[in-house]
Amino acid sequence: MLVERKENGDFTITKEPGDELCLEEENLAVAILWHVPDMEPLGDQGCAGNFDMYQCFYNYYTDKKYMILYERDGDAFLKGETILLKAMDLDEDDRADLRKEGIE
């Protein structure tokens, strides 16, 4: 698994060619939690329209949140495409979720 942290706080994650993923790692959210340092789930999954679900993550090091779409990003990840985890500022609801989870 190739993980790169960019200067602006973004991360990229790519399945290396020939990588044999275990069943759990085929789920992009699990791969992120296992391979991106200091990453935790942020809040619950949500609906992103009629055809996809999203999950947000929090990174301790960057103090930013990141979001994936399960269908779109998960399919691209399994095909070997690089997934960009774009750093986003946290809002008050995000901070409340962190406090509720005992993270902040």
> Per residue in 34-88, pLDDT tens?
999 999 999 888 898 788 999 999 999 999 999 999 999 999 999 999 999 999 9
Cα 65 to Cα 67: distance, rounded to the nearest angstrom:
7
Q: Which residue has the higher pLDDT, 92 or 43?
A: 92
**Banded pLDDT at 104 (limits 50, 70, 90):** low
Cα 45 to Cα 53: distance, rounded to the nearest angstrom:
7
Would you list the domain boundaries of the chain? 2-91
